[in-house]
Amino acid sequence: MSNPVGEAVRWLNDPLNWTNPGGVLDRLGEHLGMSAAAVLLGCLVAWPLGLWLGHTGRGGGLVVLVSNVTLAVPTLALLTILPLTFLGFGRPSVVVALAVFAVPPLLANAYTGVRQADPEARDAARGMGLSGGQVLRRVELPLAVPYLAAGFRTAAVQVVATAALASFVNGGGLGQIIRAGFGLDIAAGGGQIIAGGVLVGGLAMLVELVLALVERLVTPRSLRPARSRASRRAAAVAGS
């Protein structure tokens, strides 16, 4: 076998591999498109539910159950099962499958974010005559923003990482480059496999870095180092 890393560099250095139809640029667009749609869908479902559950203080068990069950279901299974349901083949079923894996971190962090709001602030707001909905909107929601941001970051990175697996069901995305490489012989495709890995891994790292910056920006200074990011994120880690 020749040197796979050298082959990978050569593959990445070929402009045609980037601009061809189905090349890196196309795949990158697909990858980001379906990841964004999945995270958006996940937010639409998980945030209202998590905030409401946190506000009422019920459903802590449900949050844990949801994250435990999704941890056990293989991504590959969901990606192959959903196209055979009413969702049909194509982008929608891939987006829904990815969104399922975005829900647990979003839900858990929204729930925790509301729960950890200072009870005295909540009582004070109630004492001032705010209704339940107003307390949620004006007191608990702003205090939960750092948690929402942390959950968003975890979910987004996870979805971008998992989206690589969409290639198993020909769903497009950067994973397709790796799969195509495996489709060749490993000796012949080794360079392309590693090149695809670099692209997929690089994108995940980039998203992680950018969102870490965003998370920092939306977290008020007074709330910043109260708890480490690790402990907040540890609440919901799942395989990708």
Interface residues for another protein in 148-187 (CB under 8 A)?
Answer: 157, 160-162, 164-165, 167-169, 175, 178-179, 181-182, 186
1 sits near another protein (criterion: CB under 8 A): yes
76 sits near another protein (criterion: CB under 8 A): yes
Helix axis angle, 60-72 to 91-115, nearest 10°: 140
**CB 88 to another protein: min, Å:** 12
CA distance 131 to 137: 10
**CB 41 to another protein: min, Å:** 20
198 sits near another protein (criterion: CB under 8 A): yes
CA distance 49 to 111: 8
Angle at 206 between CA 167 and CA 204, to 5 degrees: 30
Among 14, 23, 52, 80, binds another protein (CB under 8 A): 80
128 sits near another protein (criterion: CB under 8 A): no
Give the list of residues 6+ apart from residue 93 with CB closer than 8 angstroms, or none.
Answer: 79, 82, 83, 85, 87
CA distance 65 to 60: 9
Residues that bind another protein (CB under 8 A): 1, 4, 68, 71-77, 80-81, 84, 157, 160-162, 164-165, 167-169, 175, 178-179, 181-182, 186, 190, 193-194, 196-198, 200-201, 204-205, 208, 230-231, 234, 237-240
